[in-house]
Structure 1
Amino acid sequence: MRSVLLFALLAPPCALAQDASFFSVPGQDWGLRFESSLVKSHKGASNGAEFQLQIETTGGLYATVFVEPAEGKGVDSQECKEFYWASAQKNPRIDSDTIQSAPSGDFVKVSYIVRAELNGMSIVQPNANYYGHRSGKCIDVHVSQPFLKGDPVDYTNLKLFEATLKYASVP
């Protein structure tokens, strides 16, 4: 049902302007609000019951949002996390020693590092999934930012995203 997307475009870390963004969930009176470096591109798709969104920022942060009916998946953020993470954790590129899980506002966060080869280059990619539940929907917000192995890993974009991610009413 869900496609796993690996965003592996490399962007150098740099100080960029910040942007507050709001993306509404089709058919709902709410959406997600967050701050990040400026949104460079976004693409969404909905079939009525499900919604997917892909976001790329000028600072190299990538985000995907999945919103699906919660039936059979969970009745709260923790149960939605358990349902989705059972599959996600099987990714062999995840460094299992880096997996951490904790509450984060209205969400349950799972953070981890992916180590991979891309076009002959080694990358280190910090990732976080924010699992939520709202209005009978399970939500999986995934963010990541790749860095070349050996380059300093800058968590500024990821920390800003986490500090500001929240549900908001449609204006």
Structure 2
Amino acid sequence: MRRGLTASLISVLCCASLHAESLVIPVAGQGWQVTFDGPVPAMENLMPNEHGLEYRCSDGRFSLVVVVEPPAASGGDSVACRDDVWAQARQNAQIQQASVQQWSAPGCECVEYLTADAGKDDKSVQANLICCLAYRGKWIHLQASVTAAKDEDRSMLKHLAQSLSCGPFTEWKGGRRQFIFGDLGRLQIEIPSGWWVGNMSTAKGLGLPEQWTVSLFSASDPNKSWMMTFFHSTARYTTMEDIRRTAENAQQKAVIRSVEGAMNLQEIKLAKGVGCQASYTDAFMVGKPVEVGLPRVSASAFVAPLPDILGTISIMADDVKDPYFQAAIKALDTLEWEPAKAE
């Protein structure tokens, strides 16, 4: 039951232009987060570990990796972090040496450079950026790239570097939140205290439905996560039996791997629409020490607030009785949907 905030499994993604939004990477259990302005991701994956984390996201031509880890044996500040990371990255034979520039942004040290686009014509280049900083005993290094780069893409990368920062989590005591999913509609839900809203992502695939995902996280526990994805469904869900069939088909493997050994679907009591959920404990993890990045329990939910709108929801934790885990499940009853208004 490996934890990952994977917003979409779509592999064919479209991206005509890159528009920056504020993005957050929680360093759960450490009391702080990494923030920066970057393109809304089509897919993202947050992988915590006992030393820090690795975060990956992409959107067509744009891709990004952020690593939070202890400093190298020699230690040091942001400059030392940059020198260590660049010593490895500079081995790339595709780097156009004349394009390499080192500069400082507020709070971080940067290297930008161009490489030849693999498989593209000689005039096509990939713009690359490395940003490094030290914060609370950790090194944070971000590596971003844009293929078929234009001047506006390089400007976007520079703005990303200038917006990069680390700091404590914002205060949040819980409450009702609204998420606008483009032409799909609007989601409203009560977010319990102890859960913070992360990033929103959208994936568009050729011949596949547009998917919108919102991720939530715990500030104190890297093994707690909550992800909700919504999209137009070709099937229609008007009864509990409709949604149960979809849940039963999707959860067969989870049942086989679980301590429960059986499907125990519970109704989600939406004000409008149908939904159900079940929780499972990973049998493989029973009796083993808690390991960061490998949560023990999951709740899998399916909701149809409208007959042609399907939501798939996963909530992760280490204990099925965890009060924050249970609060997240209960919050699904408060989910409401508003269709997008026709223009």
Kindly tell me the number of residue pairs found equivalent between the two proteins: 157
Compared with structure 1, are the counterparts of its residues 91 and 15 closer, same or farther at alpha carbon in structure 2 (3 Å cutoff)?
A: closer
Unaligned runs of 5+ in 1: 1-8
1:125 Cα deviation from its structure 2 partner: 0.5
Structure 1 consecutive aligned stretches of length 4 or more whose deviation exceeds 6 Å: none
In the other structure, the counterpart of 1:36 is 38
Q: What is the SS of the residue equivalent to 1:97?
A: helix
In the other structure, the counterpart of 1:166 is 165
In the other structure, the counterpart of 2:319 is none
Q: What is the SS of the residue equivalent to 2:30?
A: coil
Deviation digits for residues 13-71 of structure 1 (CA, Å, limit 9, x no counterpart)? 4264x42111112332111111223222210112210311001136x321100111114
The 8 Å contact of residues 46 and 54 in structure 2, kept in 1 or not, is answered as yes
Letter in 2 for 1:90: Q
TM-score normalised according to structure 1 size: 0.80
- The equivalences for 1:1-171 within 5 A come to 13-14=16-17, 16=19, 18-57=20-59, 60-118=61-119, 121=121, 123-147=124-148, 152-154=150-152, 155-171=154-170
User: Greater helix share, 1 or 2?
Assistant: 2
Deviation digits for residues 72-127 of structure 1 (CA, Å, limit 9, x no counterpart)? 14220001111121111111111111111111111100000011322x65541111
TM-score normalised according to structure 2 size: 0.42
Q: What is the alpha-carbon distance in structure 2 between the residues aligned to residue 136 and residue 168 of structure 1? A: 13
Deviation digits for residues 112-165 of structure 1 (CA, Å, limit 9, x no counterpart)? 0011322x65541111100111111111101111007xxx44324323322322
User: Greater strand share, 1 or 2?
Assistant: 1
Unaligned runs of 5+ in 2: 1-11, 171-343
Structure whose CA Rg is larger: 2
Q: What is the SS of the residue equivalent to 2:82?
A: helix
Q: What is the alpha-carbon distance in structure 2 between the residues aligned to residue 56 and residue 104 of structure 1? A: 23
Which structure has more relative contact order (CA 8 Å, sep 6+)? It is 1
Compared with structure 1, are the counterparts of its residues 117 and 37 closer, same or farther at alpha carbon in structure 2 (3 Å cutoff)?
A: closer
Q: What is the SS of the residue equivalent to 2:100?
A: strand
Q: What is the alpha-carbon distance in structure 1 between the residues aligned to residue 111 and residue 18 of structure 2? A: 26
* CA RMSD between the two structures: 2.4
